[in-house]
Copies of this chain bind each other. A is one copy, B any other.
Amino acid sequence: MLLSILYVIGITAEAMTGALSAGRKEMDWFGVMLVASATAIGGGTVRDILLGHYPLTWVANPEYLAITCLAGLLTTGLAHWVIKFKGVFIRLDTIGLIAFSIIGTKVALNLGLHPSICMVSALVTGVFGGLLRDLICRQTPLVLHKELYASVAFAASGLYLVLLAFEISEPVATIVTLVSGYLLRMSAVRFGWHLPSFHLESDDPLH
C-alpha cells in the first residue's frame, strides 16, 4: 500500500522529467506522452520483458499509463513551475528511484531468482526509464555519468535483501530502505559523490 503510493509519486515525477526532455527537442504532444511514459514505466517494462514476467504492469493496469500521459501533458503548461521547484523534483525523483528499486527486487524475489539477479532487477527498474528517455531524445545517457544514481538503486536493493534475510518484516524493511536510500542519494547530490569514470582518448582502437 505504502509502496503503491510511492510508485505513483515516482512515475509522476519521472514522467515530468521525461516531458521536459521532450520539450527541449520540440516534440509534439504525442512525443511528450511517449517520452514521459517511457521514462516513467520503461524501466519496469524492460525488467518484466527480461524476466518474462507477464502481463506488464501497465497492460494489466492501464490507469498507470493514463497517469504518465497526463503528467507529461500537464508539464507542457507547468514547465517553468517545474524548473523553479527543481529541488522538490529531485526529492520526488529520489523517492521514486528507491520505490522502483524495492518493487524490482520484490518482482524478482517472487519469481524465485538469485539475489544478484534481484539486485539487477532493481537496477533495471530504477535506471532504464531514464536510459530510454535519453535514447529517444538523442541525449548522451545521463545515468551513465551522473552522481550516484544506479549505485543507489543497487545498494537499496542489497540493503532490502539483507533486511529480509534477517527476518525483518516487509513494511519495516521497506521504510528502512527508503530512508537510507533517500539519505544516500541526497548526500551524493549535495556533496557531488560519484563513481570513478573511465576516460579513453585513443581513436578507434578495435574497429
Contacts and interface: CB of A to CB of B under 8 A. Distances in A.
Interface string A56-71: 1001001001100000
Contact of A27 (B55, B120, B138, B198): B198
A22 B206 CA distance: 13
A194 to B, nearest CB: 6
A202 to B, nearest CB: 6
Interface stretch (A44-52, A97-105, A166-174): A44-52
A83 B202 contact: yes
Contact of A62 (B32, B50, B114, B144): B114
A179 interface: no
A19 interface: yes
Q: How many subunits of this chain does the assembly comprise?
A: 3
B31 A144 contact: yes
A200 interface: yes
A85 to B, nearest CB: 10
Interface string A10-53: 00000001011011111111111011000000000100011110
A162 interface: no
Nearest to A203: B24
Interface in A149-207: 150-151, 194-202, 205-207
Given A198-B22, A198-B27, A56 B62 contact: no
Contacts of A22: 144, 198
Contact of A65 (B17, B116, B198, B199): B116
20 contacts: A20-B206, A23-B198, A23-B200, A27-B197, A28-B194, A29-B197, A29-B198, A31-B144, A49-B49, A59-B113, A62-B116, A62-B120, A65-B116, A83-B205, A83-B206, A86-B205, A89-B206, A90-B206, A138-B138, A146-B207
